[in-house]
Amino acid sequence: MRDFPSCFGENGVQVTDFSSSGTGKNAQNLVICVYRCRIRVRPCLITVTWTKSLMGQGLSIGIDDSANQCLCKVDIKPWLFSKRKGSKSLEACSCKINVYWDLSSAKFGSGPEPFEGFYVGVVANKQMVLLLGDMKKEACKKTGATHVPSSAILVAKKEHVFGKTVFTTKAQFCDNDRIHDLMIECDMVGVSDPCLVIRVDGKALMQVKRLQWKFRGNHTILVDGMAIEVFWDVHNWLFGTSLGGNAVFLFKTSGASEEKLWFSQNIPSPSSLQWSFSQRFQDSKLQNPGFSLILYAWKNE
């Protein structure tokens, strides 16, 4: 079962799921963001994938329709990433789509996703469908599109994080919400009773004791009054399997019109955590689908 929208065929691009193979050392550092957009009133999903490996930085953009069928893609491979500025024209949704990017001044942290000095824009019929980055004026000037408030909504994000006992990232749980510092702590070296702690903006909001008995589960936390359901599976951390020793964490907000959870069970299995995004994409037609963040946490040796 597919995890993220994958496009196959002559014009397709496949996003490899590194969560189920390899080890922490070999796992590729990647961030995948899925946005729900509209092109000529037609709903679609735009998947932006940032990668970082020994070969360099990489970027790919895929456009899928609401049925999760690939319409078109742009793939800037790591070994061609010296071309940090450019554009590409595509045909999809019965119209011409232009993808523009300028990463020549982009600043990166430890991850593959830039945090400033860049833009990535998707334009259809001279309308800005999706605009990422802080160089919005430059993007509008280059694309010729009038900058209007975008209707694009970030509905899902998948990220690989690395650490020994502490794993950190940043998360924005809704469009109007501020960016939060998210921290996962778990020290198991020489500890008879490991404990899992999740902090948001430095405040401990969740603590799981007797982790060897509660290596899978779910709990609801409140962030600025917003309910966020947290699922975790740290079985591989504790007992080690051929899956490579990564833990899986899922942070999920519920949309106002959402009536059911992705999971049919209260406590998800490892496989359900890894393919649950398929259900999220199927539910992307919802007017308010909420947001979901899935983290694969790899322990450095």
Query: Listing from the earlier edge strand, what are the strands of the sheet with 246-252?
Result: 70-76, 56-65, 42-53, 29-39, 153-163, 292-299, 246-252, 226-233, 216-223
Pairing of the two strands 153-163 and 292-299: parallel
271-274: long-range pairs with CB below 8 Å, 24+: 273/231, 273/233, 273/248, 274/3, 274/17, 274/19, 274/20, 274/248
- Dist. CA 101–CA 118, nearest whole Å: 8
The pLDDT of residue 81: 62
The whole-angstrom separation of Cα 30 and Cα 125 is: 31
**Residue 53 confidence (pLDDT) above 50:** yes
| Tokens coding 293 | 């963040």
Residue 278 predicted with pLDDT over 60: no
Backbone dihedral angles phi then psi of residue 50, each to the nearest 5 degrees: -105, 130
> Residues 105-144, buried b or exposed e (16+ Cβ, 10 A)?
ebebeebbbbeeebbbbbbbeebbbbbbbebeebbbebbe
Q: Identify the pLDDT of residue 50.
A: 94
pLDDT in tens, 199-236: 999 999 999 999 989 999 999 999 988 899 999 999 88
pLDDT digit string (tens) for 138-177?
A: 998 998 887 666 678 898 899 999 998 999 999 988 877 7
Two tokens at 225? 């009054």
Its sign, for the CA torsion 187, 192, 195, 196, is: positive
Mean pLDDT of 44-68: 85
| In the predicted structure, residue 293 carries a pLDDT above the cut 80 | yes
pLDDT for position 2: 35
Q: Is the pLDDT of residue 197 over 90?
A: yes
pLDDT of res. 183: 97
**Does position 55 have pLDDT exceeding 90, yes or no?**
no
**pLDDT for res 216:** 92
| Among the listed residues 77, 58, 64, the one whose alpha carbon sits nearest the alpha carbon of residue 35 | 64
Output 76 or 136, whichever has higher pLDDT. 136
Q: Percent of the chain beyond pLDDT 90?
A: 36
Q: Which of 167, 174, 164, 290 is nearest to 232 (CA)?
A: 167
SS3 96: strand
Average pLDDT over residues 133-138: 92
Percentage of residues in the chain with pLDDT exceeding 70?
71
Tell me the pairing of strands 226-233 and 196-200: unpaired
pLDDT in tens, 68-118: 666 778 888 766 666 788 898 887 767 788 999 999 899 988 889 999 999
Least confident of 23-32, 45-54, 94-103: 23-32
Q: What's the CA gap between 292 and 157, in Å, rounded?
A: 6
- What's the predicted TM-score (pTM) here? 0.79
* Extents of the domains making up the chain: 18-151, 160-299
Contact 129, 61 (CB under 8 A): no
Nearest-CA neighbor of 61 among 27, 104, 17, 15? Answer: 15
C-beta separation of 41 from 27 below 8 A: no
Q: Quote the DSSP letter at residue 28.
A: -
d(CA 298, CA 301): 9
Contacts of 14 (CB under 8 A, 6+ apart): 6, 7, 8
pLDDT band at 49 (very low <50, low <70, confident <90, very high): very high
